[in-house]
Amino acid sequence: MSKYWRVLGGGDTNTATATIMLMGDECTRGCRFCSVKTSKNPGPLDPLEPFNTAKAVSSWGVHYIVLTSVDRDDIQDGGASHLAECVKELKTQVPDLLVEVLAPDFRGDLDAVEHLASSGMDVFAHNVETVNRLQAFVRDPRANYKQSMEVLIRLKSHHLVSSLKLLSC
């Protein structure tokens, strides 16, 4: 795959990037804009996903990886520990790799946010999706603007680059 990154903007002079969705292909939420499958009881997390993800990424020759995920409200910490392990394994196998995590809100569990933020990532991104007044029309009821803002405020103490993302509605 790495030979194709030259065509896609990677290679010796440009930054090659990729995005990977982690923690399965079933989300525990049902946001109206999203086409990811929804399930109250998705399958278990793959315990080898951190290692296998890092192994794959190390073979691609990318310089920047975005880790995104489904929401996993069925897991105690929302999957924060699993995502943190993915970041740590990526940094172990590819030390110069820049890692962005497009993270869920972990149901507002700020301890989960702290755990992930301390994993060694370079950029913490979070989708707020839309302005406050449109939240109920766009997002699953378990997600809300205030909860997302609390996640982002908590990140300030980590001095990470953070990215807030909005959909165009």
**pTM (2 decimals)?**
0.81
Q: Angle 92-109-93 (CA atoms, 0-180°, nearest 5)?
A: 5
Which residue in 105, 107, 109, 112 sits closest to 128, CA to CA?
A: 105
pLDDT for 57-75, tens place per residue? 999 989 999 999 988 989 9
Question: What's the pLDDT tens digit per position in 46-56?
Answer: 999 999 999 99
Q: Which of 126, 153, 131, 114 is nearest to 71 (CA)?
A: 126
Q: In which residue are the tokens 């192994």 written?
A: 55
What distance in Å separates the CA atoms of residue 16 and residue 57, rounded to the nearest whole number?
A: 11
